[in-house]
Every structure is written in C-alpha cells, then in structure tokens.
C-alpha cells in the first residue's frame, strides 16, 4: 500500500480503476453530503487519497493516520482525523460540521461491537450475522448524508479496483432514532459472495 500511495498523481490515475463512480457524482451534482463507507478489507486508505488528488475535499476518520506514518505527502484537500488520539465527541462534531456543509466524509463501518449496549445493529454478512456500530447510520441521519459503500482491492501488478455501490439512506423512527425495520438486501451485502474462490476475491481479505 505504501508503494502505491507514493505514486505521483499521474501514475496513481493510471493504476486506479473506479466502477460505480456515477453514484458519487450524482450525489455531488445535487450538492448533497456523502459518507464513503469502507471496510478493513483491501486497501482502504488509498481511496480518500486518490479522491483528494482529484480535487475533492475529503475528511477521513481513521484509527491511525497511516499515510502520515508511512511518510506519504497528502494533498491539502485531504484531512485525516486519527481517532485513537482524538476525543470521540470532537471527531463526531468535525464530521457533522463537514457533512452539513455539503462535504465528503470517509470512514469504516465494520469495527467490532462497541462495549455500550443498544448501539449496534445486526446485518447478515457472508452468511453470518454480524454486529455493526450504529454510529455510521446515526451520522447519516444527523447530517442528511447518503452512505455509499465502497470496496477496494489490489489486482495483479498493483492495479487498484474501486467499486462504489448505490447509496444507502437509513430510515429514522423518530428524532435521533434508527429504524429497526428490516431493509431489503443491498448490493453491497453481496460483494463478498461473488466467486469466493477467485484470486482477486481472496486478496480483498488480506
């Protein structure tokens, strides 16, 4: 990942392929805030860097600022917030302020279940029930943002594939409440069920 992150903007543009980018462009054309929801699979931190180098202002919430740790020079359009060293309420307010101004926020939504009770919801993932924090959905409700699920995998010779899925719009059952109503399966739920024995698929889990 470090080698790819250090590529020049022109070299990075040649190494990246984006599918479903029209979902992002549609939201941005309507001047709507967007949450880019990644996972801990694949090359998660390369996407906000790639996007920022195209002139999009991105606020990326991460456990650690890995790009800084690798010595990668970030463009002015990319702001990284290291959650491990930032007070949670401060990180939340930064994200809300950025989104309410029509910005783009990048984060992961597959962290382990938090210690607090009733702050997670259950989704079927790869045939198993998995508990996810509600923070991602609540952030969407509070800011009026669409959630765009994103997956990034590295193919042969370091080529990076970015897949952006249609938007998810969480439903509210009242002020500050996330609806518990079951929703139809989203295309992103099927992402890791496509040909699990393929070489590219296996690399997404490394």
Supply the pLDDT for residue 112.
52
Distance CA 111, CA 33 (A): 23
Q: What is the percent of the chain with per-residue pLDDT over 90, rounded to a whole number?
A: 29
DSSP state of 84: G
Q: CA-CA distance, 113 to 179, in Å (whole number)?
A: 18
pLDDT of residue 60: 93
| pLDDT at residue 122, rounded to an integer | 63
> Per residue in 176-190, pLDDT tens?
455 544 444 444 444
Supply the pLDDT for residue 14: 82
Question: Does an H or E element contain 204, and which?
Answer: helix 199-204
Burial of 188: CB neighbours in 10 Å, binned 0-12, 13-18, 19+ = buried
Q: Is the pLDDT of residue 114 over 90?
A: no
Q: Tokens standing for 175? A: 């002020």
Strands (DSSP E) found in the chain: 16-19, 34-38, 58-62, 78-82, 104-108, 120-125, 128-133, 146-154, 160-164, 172-174, 177-178
pLDDT value at residue 96: 94
Q: What mean pLDDT, rounded, does the chain reach?
A: 76
pLDDT tens-digit profile of 56-93? Answer: 999 999 888 888 888 888 899 999 999 889 888 899 89
Containing H/E element for 9? helix 9-15
Q: How many residues does the chain have?
A: 206
Higher pLDDT, 19 or 116: 19
More confident site: 22 or 62: 22
DSSP state of 113: P
Residues of the domain holding 90: 2-204
**Three-state DSSP class for 108?**
strand
**pLDDT reading at 22 higher than 50:** yes
Look at residue 33 and tell me whether its pLDDT is greater than 50.
yes
Distance of CA 1 to the CA centre of its chain: 17
The pLDDT-based confidence of 201 (bands split at 50, 70, 90) is: very low
End-to-end CA separation in angstroms for the chain = 12
Q: What total number of domains does the chain contain?
A: 1
Instruction: State residue 121's pLDDT score.
Output: 56
Q: Is the pLDDT of residue 99 over 80?
A: yes
Q: Tell me the pTM.
A: 0.74
């Amino acid at each position: 990942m470090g080698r790819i992150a250090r590529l020049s903007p022109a070299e990075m543009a040649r190494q990246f392929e984006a599918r479903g980018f029209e979902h992002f462009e549609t939201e941005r054309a309507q001047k709507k805030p967007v949450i880019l929801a990644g996972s801990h699979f694949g090359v998660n931190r390369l996407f906000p860097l790639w996007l920022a180098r195209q002139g999009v202002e991105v606020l990326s919430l991460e456990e650690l600022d890995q790009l800084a740790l690798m010595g990668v020079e970030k463009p002015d359009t990319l702001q990284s917030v290291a959650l491990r060293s930032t007070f949670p309420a401060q990180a939340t307010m930064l994200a809300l302020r950025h989104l309410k101004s029509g910005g783009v926020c990048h984060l992961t939504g597959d962290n382990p279940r938090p210690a607090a009770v009733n702050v997670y919801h259950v989704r079927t993932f790869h045939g198993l029930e998995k508990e996810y924090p509600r923070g991602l959905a609540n952030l969407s409700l509070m800011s009026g943002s669409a959630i765009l699920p994103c997956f990034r995998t590295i193919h042969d010779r370091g080529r990076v594939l970015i897949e952006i899925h249609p938007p998810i719009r969480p439903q509210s059952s009242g002020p500050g409440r996330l609806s518990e109503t079951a929703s139809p399966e989203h295309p992103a739920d099927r992402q890791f069920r496509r040909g699990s024995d393929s070489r590219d698929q296996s690399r997404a889990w490394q």
